[in-house]
Amino acid sequence: MNADNPNPYASLKPVTQIMTNPHFTSIGGETAITQLVDKFYYYMETLPEAILIRAMHDADLSHTKQVLVKFLTEWLGGPKIYSAERGHPSLRKKHMNFPIGEAERDAWILCMRHAMEDIVTDATLRQQLEQSFFKTADFIRNNQ
């Protein structure tokens, strides 16, 4: 290798670096994400603050749970199963049928905060995720 013939692969990252998303790995992969989603809906079913948002969902949450696991898996950098099955996330559009204001946003975040406290052991990661969830929930808001 010399200056006239530079290494064409020099700018490529090692495959392991491309395949590994720190969030997906550090949260504990799909097992932890499934537990997180179970806890999230457990809190949505039990916290009085979440009654309004629980009522927006079907009585049977099993399909919704599967979809959220797939979405979060992809969102955190794991396999892209969600968009392969359900297209672009377009979360704002997909929530347009539900009146979401500050109270609904805060109820969603409350359930997720409790779920993360149960499942995500790394406090820094919990904080980072809560900030990202908040931004997303606020972006979805279509009501006061």
Which positions lie near ligand HEM, rule CB under 6 A?
A: 53, 56-58, 64, 67-68, 71, 86, 91, 94-95, 98, 100, 104-105, 108, 133, 136-137, 140
Of the pair 19, 102, the CB lying nearest ligand HEM is at: 102
Output the smallest distance, CB 87 to ligand HEM, in A: 8
User: What CA–CA distance (Å, rounded) separates 81 from 69?
Assistant: 10
CB 120 within 8 A of CB 129: yes
In what helix (H) or strand (E) does residue 139 lie, and over which residues does it extend? Answer: helix 123-140
User: What CA–CA distance (Å, rounded) separates 64 from 61?
Assistant: 5
Output the smallest distance, CB 107 to ligand HEM, in A: 7
User: What CA–CA distance (Å, rounded) separates 37 from 55?
Assistant: 17
Of the pair 78, 104, the CB lying nearest ligand HEM is at: 104
Of the pair 36, 137, the CB lying nearest ligand HEM is at: 137
CB 141 within 8 A of CB 135: no
Output the smallest distance, CB 45 to ligand HEM, in A: 13
Output the smallest distance, CB 75 to ligand HEM, in A: 7
Of the pair 51, 56, the CB lying nearest ligand HEM is at: 56
How many CB atoms sit inside 10 A of residue 34's CB? 18
